[in-house]
Amino acid sequence: MKKFIAGLFLVSIFLISCDRPSQSYKEWKTYAGSKEGNRYSSLDQITPENVSKLEVAWTFSSNDKDRDNHSQNQCNPIIVEGILYGTSPRLKLFALEADKGIPKWIFDPASVNPTANNDKYAFFKVNRGVVYWQDEKGADKRILYSAGSKIYAVNVSDGTLITSFGKKGYIDLTENLGREPGTFNSFVTSTSPGIIYKDVFIIGHRVGESADAAPGPIRAYDVRTGQLKWLFHTIPHPGEKGYETWKDKEAWKKFGGANSWAGMSLDEEKGIVYVPTGSIGGDFYGGIRKGENLFGNSLIAVDAASGKYLWHYQVVHHDLWDRDLAANPNLVTLHINGKEIDAVAQITKHGYIFVFNRETGEPLFPIEERPVPTSDLPGEEAWPTQPIPTLPEPFARQKFEEEDVSNIDPQTYEEMLTKFHQIKYGKMFTPPSKEGVWIFPGFDGGGEWGGAAVDPESGTLYVNSTELPWSLTMIDVPKNDGDRSLKGMGKVQYGKYCLACHGPEMKGNGSSFPSLVGLNIKYKTDQVWKIIENGKNMMPAFKQIKGTDKEALLAFLLNTSEKGQGVANNKILSKEPVADAHSGSSTKSIMDEVPYAMTGYNRFLDKNGYPGITPPWGTLNAVDLNSGKLLWKVTLGEYPELKAKGIPATGTENYGGPLVTKGGLVFIAATKDEKIRAFDKSTGKVLWEYQLPAAGYATPATYSINGKQYVVIACGGGKIGSKSGDDYVAFALPGK
């Protein structure tokens, strides 16, 4: 029966593709393989019949991983004219001979930012790819890529900075945000690469998660000069599309977020760029930002040349669950009801796929506005409905109930059942509360920044999914209860800026959010001050905390009243508002209007670290976008120790995306077990796997040189307790 179904699947691919115009996808010159964002290659030398023979062709190590296992590398490299361009854990840019892995040159952003040399953690952030551009004559060839808040322009021939671009070689993303500097959290960085339309470089950015987050406008720059060409405000200004939807007409002056951090896709022929956005700042309490919160959590179509609004669709109204659109959309031509339609498909964290007409924004399958629960937090006004697509079928489970609690280990089952009942039961879109709610799929998906791959010949979308519940519980923002000491005031600052990640007792949560207990033993005052100012690893900078507020936070973190770290030990403050030491003005901000904080990003794990829901915990899925039907679902990843006990593959949390080829394969790493695998794209059967030196939390790329096809993956690790790595590993068939 399985063979019969697979045969029908292949026949449908043939019939659908017969009348499609052929297009070459043999190169990997762009992040995600093409500007359509489809992670697809028409290379077909590696096939289901020979993939088992793949062997390592070369490895390259930058030798700059963090030995404490905090660094990552999520880069999907590009390959142009036989040269591979990628980045390292310290955000160095390098050029390699793509058939040998031999470096031609390496550009280090610290070389033009000398202060970075004073902090070994300054560049342990994230970069997911780079952008290549050349002029019509091929005389000017450059790479644009991000390192923190700066976009550098680097000469392709020798790796030197192009000083005629921007400010002597770079754009500063903290500028030109459409708001007065100093009115928001200054943390701004770029993780996913921008996209180029003709001579226009279009870029989004990452901002903080708090209510004082920076604005998230989409910006376009002249690729030659670095000069700003246009800006699209994602929180509309007076007179702009969508401004009238905001109850608070001063919203554009107060709120941030609605930023596009996950990358974009471009229809080059139509000149339309498709921009997915995240939530408005203040992820879990929206009482200060009443309304739908346009253009947060939206897919926006914008004229690439001018930045003019074309259409949008809001996937989540008044987001209270951190449901950012976390991946670039996919552009594909579909056959629906006998019509050929240019479509755009957007995956989501909650496991849905929204599909629209690329030109008009009209949904290609019905989307229902369904009633959802109301909020019981005073001041909160949750939106009464949320959009749910009737098709395509969801690629992640949509419920988490008592029957779904994992019994994989009988010794932990009762404990997990007790934990389950400690959280208020709620279906999807139950608003945050003090009783707690389950977020499932979790904060990290469902679908995530690895994105989806689409085969343009069949219209089949391939997407990996994590199936792990997280809990979300709100508490009152801590008050100082009349304690006017620095330490007492620092407790208030901790509640504003630190509690959500490190918890109400400072104990942290896993490797991503380390415990702050005993911080005064590990660090000196000036070291902690520097971390707050600049950020560290995945922690953003908090430059907005200034003067006495920062002194107070340090006193609380370092317990100065008992240990004494030289920061105005136990100094008594006046009863007036804490003043900024630099300007003398009150530091009261929008953060002071937020009455509640969440208690941390808490995965539902048992004492052994396994997810508390029945497997599968990670899946790879194939969805026919023409019919909206789920074609197959298989587990992705395994735990060797469970396998040794005879437990079937469970899947693992996964980060990074798939690659699909004309040759009939889906390549994906992404799993906690540190393997890369090849699946038969028609059946989901695993045909090959290889143990990597570190987890490949990135998306593979494929390319051909001298008739030989390669598949390459960045092995950065560093997430969810995995060891960090700094290798790129390339595979090819022997003897070609």
Q: What does residue 283 show for φ and ψ, rounded to 5 degrees?
A: -60, -35
- Is residue 565's pLDDT more than 60? no
Both tokens of 4, joined, read 């019969």
What are the tens digits of pLDDT across the range 154-202? 999 999 999 999 999 999 999 999 998 888 988 999 999 999 999 999 9
For residue 566, what pLDDT band results from cuts at 50, 70 and 90? very low
pLDDT, mean of residues 241-251: 96
Both tokens of 194, joined, read 């921008």
Report for 19-28, 506-515, 591-600: range of highest mean pLDDT: 591-600
For residue 76, what pLDDT band results from cuts at 50, 70 and 90? very high
Which structural domains are found in the chain, ordered by start?
2-473+605-732 (2.140.10.10), 478-593 (1.10.760.10)
For residue 587, what pLDDT band results from cuts at 50, 70 and 90? low
> What pLDDT sits at residue 626?
98
- Is residue 528's pLDDT more than 80? yes
Name beta bridge partners: 59.
729
Residues 6+ apart with CB under 8 A from 556: 486, 487, 489, 490, 491, 493, 494
> What pLDDT sits at residue 513?
74
> What pLDDT sits at residue 426?
74
- Is residue 419's pLDDT more than 90? yes
- Please report, as a single letter, which amino acid is at residue 596: Y
> What pLDDT sits at residue 468?
97
> What pLDDT sits at residue 537?
64
What stretches of 664-719 adopt beta strand conformation (E)?
665-668, 675-680, 686-691, 701-705, 708-717
> What pLDDT sits at residue 545?
79
Mean pLDDT taken over the chain: 90
Choice between 124 and 660, residue whose per-residue pLDDT is larger: 660
Our CA dihedral for 570, 575, 579, 584, rounded to 10 degrees, sits at: -120
For residue 515, what pLDDT band results from cuts at 50, 70 and 90? confident
Cα 722 from chain centroid (whole Å): 18
What are the tens digits of pLDDT across the range 461-499? 999 999 999 999 999 998 777 676 777 788 888 887 888
User: Which of 229-243, 383-397, 507-521 shows the lowest per-residue confidence on average (mean pLDDT)?
Assistant: 507-521
What are the tens digits of pLDDT across the range 321-331? 999 999 999 99
- Is residue 511's pLDDT more than 50? yes
Choice between 507 and 177, residue whose per-residue pLDDT is larger: 177
pLDDT, mean of residues 139-146: 97
> What pLDDT sits at residue 125?
81
d(CA 415, CA 408): 12
d(CA 195, CA 133): 10
Q: What percent of the chain has pLDDT above 70?
A: 90
- Please report, as a single letter, which amino acid is at residue 592: D
Cis peptide before 392 (omega within 30 of 0): yes
pTM of the model: 0.91
Residues 6+ apart with CB under 8 A from 398: 350, 351, 428
Maximum pairwise Cα distance, the chain: 79
- Is residue 619's pLDDT more than 50? yes
Q: What percent of the chain has pLDDT above 90?
A: 76
CB 292 within 8 A of CB 383: yes
Three-class HEC string of 548-574: HHHHHHHHHHHCHHHHCCCCCCCCECC
- Is residue 659's pLDDT more than 50? yes
